[in-house]
Amino acid sequence: MPPFVSRFIGAPDGLRLHARDYGSPADPGLPLVCLAGLSRNAADFGPLAEALAGGAAGSKRRVLALDYRGRGLSDFDPDWRNYEIPVENVDVEAMLTACEVDRAIFVGTSRGGFHVMSLAARRPNLVAGAVLNDIGPVIEPQGFTRIRHYLRHMGAPSSLPDAIDCVKKIMSAQFPALSEADFAAHARATFQKADGSFGLTFDPKLVKPLERLQLDEPLPPVWQLFDALADVPLLVIRGANSDALAPATLVEMARRHPHCATYVVEGQGHAPLLYDEASIGRIAQFVAEVEANERIAA
């Protein structure tokens, strides 16, 4: 049996959305909500979710890992124009409302980090703490270009060995520290479907909104959105080899935010997988600190 329950709810427009639900609403710790990258899904957070639900931060807790529309077990949208952050952000809120989560710590990887910032701007009482995994208010254009390129040309492997070969071709340059077990785990998270078969686990039309972006010049920064987290305890994680979050942006985030800690994952790029014990331990430490601050404030 998997260590989670699959939850399905209806989005405001009727599309069926999925989340992995670890732990129990009765667990004493603050809930943790995990939001994945652009084409990623809830499976990315398996090791982190199991550890935090099991008490790695000092208390057992509920952990929700969400599939955006068009990813994982959520329905594909017949209109690709809905693969935009504002629509997905409303979906996230709908899922949290259905799961009766009114305050939580959030982990946002890449695109998920923008969702965390947007939620903090829209519903400041919802976000008790935030982990931004290799994302910030400034996205380096070379990282965005690379992501768009591999989404355009992503194959659909039909077996685990083919899936491993695929992720190695995409990732090896930025992720020299990964073990064979890491590559296998990431291949499963990327390409393995609910029935055990392999293939694409996201709608290929996800790339269409990206085609409209002109990347000859840097994307406009969104420091104002980042400032929505000003009163929220924050941990920013960067892959040492990242081409999406520059070291200078990380330094400026820490300077600008009064409660910002940083953590660099050596040997990994965009975005750190959060499979390793050190990364999970650092996030668990942050979660424990947020909970301690919540108790003091209460």
Cα 295 to chain centroid, rounded: 27
Tell me what pLDDT residue 116 has. 98
> For residue 2, what pLDDT band results from cuts at 50, 70 and 90?
confident
Q: Which amino acid appears at position 165 of this protein?
A: D
Q: How many residues does the chain have?
A: 298
Asked if the model's pLDDT at residue 249 lies above 80, the reply is yes
Q: Is residue 264 part of a domain?
A: yes
pLDDT in the model for residue 155: 84
pLDDT in tens, 13-72: 999 999 999 999 999 999 999 999 999 999 999 999 999 999 999 999 999 999 999 999
Select from 52, 55, 78 the least CA-distant residue to 65.
Answer: 52
Q: What is the CATH number of the domain that holds 265?
A: 3.40.50.1820
What is the average pLDDT across 187-198?
96
Q: Please give the single-letter amino acid code of residue 114.
A: F
DSSP state of 216: S
Would you state the pLDDT for residue 144? Answer: 86
- Mean of the pLDDT values across residues 264-277? 97
pLDDT at 153: 86
> pLDDT per residue over 153-188, tens digit each?
888 999 999 999 999 999 999 999 999 999 999 999
- Whether the CB-CB separation of 242 and 269 falls below 8 Å is answered with yes
The answer to the question of residue 169 being in a domain is no
In the predicted model, is pLDDT for residue 195 greater than 80? Answer: yes
Per-residue model confidence (pLDDT) at position 272: 98
Task: Let me know if residue 271 belongs to a domain.
Answer: yes
204 is a domain residue:
no
Which of 133, 95, 94 is CA-nearest to residue 113? 133
pLDDT of 113 > 80? The answer is yes
Specify the amino acid at residue 100.
E
Average pLDDT, the chain: 95
Given this model, what pLDDT does residue 11 score? 97
pLDDT of residue 48: 98
pLDDT of 15: 97
The pLDDT value recorded for residue 138 is 96
Segments forming the whole domain that contains residue 105:
4-141+219-297
Long-range Cβ contact pairs of 205-209 (< 8 A, separation 24 or more): 205/70, 205/76, 205/80, 205/83, 206/38, 206/39, 206/70, 206/71, 206/80, 206/83, 206/151, 207/148, 207/151, 207/152, 208/80, 208/81, 208/83, 209/80, 209/81, 209/83, 209/84
Q: Above 90 in pLDDT, residue 214?
A: no
Overall average pLDDT of the 260-268 stretch: 98
166: in domain: no
Q: How many domains in the chain? A: 1
Residue 229 in domain: yes
Judged against a pLDDT cut of 90, whether residue 295 lies above it is answered with no
pLDDT of residue 202: 97
- Domain assignment present for 196: no
Predicted local confidence at residue 212, as pLDDT: 82
pLDDT over 80 at 218, yes or no: no
Output the CA–CA distances (angstroms, integers) from residue 139 to 102, 117, 156, 215, in the order listed.
30, 14, 28, 11
Residues 256-274 have a mean pLDDT of 97
Mean pLDDT of 143-154: 88
